[in-house]
Structure 1
Amino acid sequence: MKTRELGRTGISVSEICLGTMTWGEQNTQDDAFEQMDYAVSRGINFFDTAEMYPVPPVPETQGKTEEYIGEWFRQSGKRKEIVLASKATGPGHQHVREGKPLGRSGILSAIEGSLARLQTDYIDLYQIHWPNRATNFFGKLGYQHGADDAERDLHEILETLSELFNSGVVKAIGISNETPWGLMSYLNLAEQYGLPRIASIQNPYSLLNRTFEIGLAEMAIREDVGLLAYSPMAFGMLSGKYRNGARPIDGRITLFERFQRYSNPQAVAASEAYVALAERHQLSPAQMALAFVTGQRFLTSNIIGATTMLQLKENIDSSELQLSDDVMREIEAIHQRIPNPAP
């Protein structure tokens, strides 16, 4: 398993990251333990979670994912072997700090809860899950500007993260579901006030959603703030399991209506084309989709998720696949024909 540097931190992370958001909803604690054990055996040293997980977020299960990881740390004794990433929940969910915007008190409360559930005294990468301001994330297209105190808001967040960084409670800081303006504002504030520098940005990126390439990719490379790509298989659409209208009973798109943006007509057409392309070249559609993401220069780590061990093994095996020039040309042709159908 190859590793890459997390920003300019000197921390090395595996180019495949183990995502955890199904643990506590679709996966039991035993499932989670099996996944973590296997991932580590394959050279993965990077786990990503969040205080809000599992997804979909509901009060009854909130925090279970971190609890599973914490118990695995306790039983395995492998905390120091893992680069652990977690996130503080943004506004909008009433069961997490009454859905209020994330400020100093919210961040301190969030990390206190995460540390307890994770049974650890530090988090390697602590991230802001999504912005307080109304902007483009979670599939929102178009931008309507309204008066706000966004820069002051980011400054307060960064100063709070600086407190945690200086105390050793977090080793690096990151952002998620952010825009080019948000990333550059954080970088400017860090330089202006001598605060810690953002190390990574966790945004969606897949064959069905390459919007990161527009603006953020150049910044990720030039500023050493690499992408942690989530939903690299567009909730399984790119695996082929939803092909020809199939709806497997355990599929996330089948189970949860909130993820229908991945199955609109354009996304279905593009997915069919990518799966057919993989089959023509005798490739696993899932591995082709993941290898495309992992091969990007602006990527730090590709966050995979699985509900079965068979899926997990196939996904991790994608790290050994390098796509040919012919496959890449055909991918670009499909992208030109059906660009970003599931942003």
Structure 2
Amino acid sequence: MASVAGSSLPSCTLLLRRDFELFPGVRPKRLSTINGGRGRRPMVGSPIRAKQGESALQYRKLGDSDLRISEVMLGTYPVPMRKETQGRTDLYIGSWMKSKPRDKVILATKVCGYSERSSYIRDNAKVLRVDAANIRESVEKSLKRLSTDYIDLLQIHWPDRYVALFGEFTYDPAKWRPSVPFAEQLRALQELIDEGKVRYIGVSNETSYGVMEFVHAAEVQKLPKIASIQNSYSLLVRCRFEVDLVEVCHPNNCNIGLLAYSPLASGTLSGKYLDIYSEAAKRGRLSIFPGYMDRYKGSLAKEATELYIQLAKKHGLTPVQLALGFVRDRPFTTSSIIGATSVDQLKEDIDAFITTMRPLPPEVVDGIEDIFKRYKDPAIL
């Protein structure tokens, strides 16, 4: 779900069911969710309408679950996170949800993975783990803040075990550490499902090994199976998912739905950071928080972004249309998670799904692949 975390970190993600009218006369076949982003108040005051000739948003089944979700969803993870604002997004969304029919909204959130730096989100924990106590506290607090009695999709934000994350690309064997067994994590989640507090479960920032272990443990011990994987995927970040997770998550194999976060690479693919002196760049979080996500600035990502923007212009597309259209059309993508700090950003992102030719023309796809051959995952530092 940009990221979907609510109980563990201050964020969450929403999708609308097909028959829900968010605004009078505006049905979700023409839009996805409209809600708060980046820790700000929900943006629910302006309708987003489709024009004649535009395609309707598609709805797709999420893995083995009964959920049918829109191909674009709103993530409200205010990154980078801060202790002072932890949980606030949940409260905003909970306030908004009070005036909406709960069964018409698909609400996803997360439980934090292993962390030695985020203990402030628990009452009495020095190190956060994905164990029964942490999972339950996370869910109970999130339900209270969200003013709801159940979560549609609960995901583990990142693994309890060591994996290469947060700028790392390759696995470092020396960093291996003991972790909570996969079956133990699933049993804790099973309890919440049995209590009606969680409907379905998923993972995030996960590897092929982790997905297979979760699926195997669920099958052997008759525990709930994960329905989704929320990983980063974009024109600038492809290899980690395409190399083997595509096969693992294939409907004929494990059938795990990809919820692609950062399809615009934290705004990089919009082109706003190419001119570091522009107002858009100055307002962007990669500028506001020096050192944050350096992989998009201190790498070959800039060169690749320039080429993708040139390709978009050549074919009459905006950079956002190209980037979101690419992720939208991948056969393994169930939904893309967008973030927004303004209504204009939200409109541009949603419009990209309904105005961009479906699928992207072959000549555009060929152009993307030509650039990819030269810049495979250029954000690797």
Bin for the TM-score computed over the shorter chain: 0.7 to 0.9
After TM superposition, list the pairs within 5 Å mapping 1:48-87 onto structure 2: 53-74=77-98, 76-87=99-110
Counterpart mapping for 1:1-343 below 5 A: 22-24=37-39, 27=40, 29=41, 32-34=42-44, 38=47, 53-74=77-98, 76-92=99-115, 93-97=118-122, 98-145=126-173, 148-150=177-179, 153-210=181-238, 211-221=240-250, 222-246=253-277, 248-257=281-290, 258-320=292-354, 321=356, 322=358, 323-342=360-379
User: Once structures 1 and 2 are overlaid, which stretch shifts more, 172-181 or 55-64?
Assistant: 55-64
Matched length: 323
Aligned identity (percent) is 41
Using structure 1 for the length normalisation, give the TM-score: 0.86
Of 84-93 and 103-112, the range deviating more from structure 2: 84-93
Q: Does the Cα contact within 8 Å between 2:36 and 2:43 map onto a contact in 1?
A: no
TM-score, reference length from structure 2: 0.78
Distance 1:291 1:270, change over 3 A: same
Does the residue aligned with 1:204 lie in a helix, a strand or coil? Answer: coil
The 1:18/1:336 distance shift into structure 2, 3 A limit, reads farther
What is residue 66 of structure 2 aligned with on the other side? Answer: none
- Report which of the two has the higher share of helix: 1
Residues 240, 246 of structure 1: CA spacing in aligned structure 2 closer, same or farther, 3 A cutoff? farther
The one-letter code matched in structure 1 to 2:375 is I
CA distance in 2, matches of 1:271, 1:91: 33
CA contact (8 A) 2:36 2:92 kept: no
Distance in 2 of aligned mates of 1:223 and 1:100: 28
Tell me: CA distance 1:59–1:17, structure 2 relative to 1, closer, same or farther (3 Å). Answer: farther
Partner Cα separation in structure 2 for residue 143 and residue 33 of structure 1: 40
Q: State the alpha-carbon separation in 2 of the partners of residues 185 and 300 from structure 1.
A: 22
| 5+ residue gaps, structure 1 | 1-10
Task: Write the distance in 2 (CA, Å) between the matches of 1:130 and 1:20.
Answer: 24
From the superposition, tell whether residues 20 and 231 of structure 1 become closer, same or farther in structure 2 (CA, over 3 Å): farther
Cα distance change of structure 1 residues 48 and 289 upon mapping to structure 2, 3 Å threshold: closer
Q: Counterpart of 1:23 in 2: which secondary structure?
A: coil
Letter in 2 for 1:279: K
> SS where residue 238 of structure 1 aligns?
helix
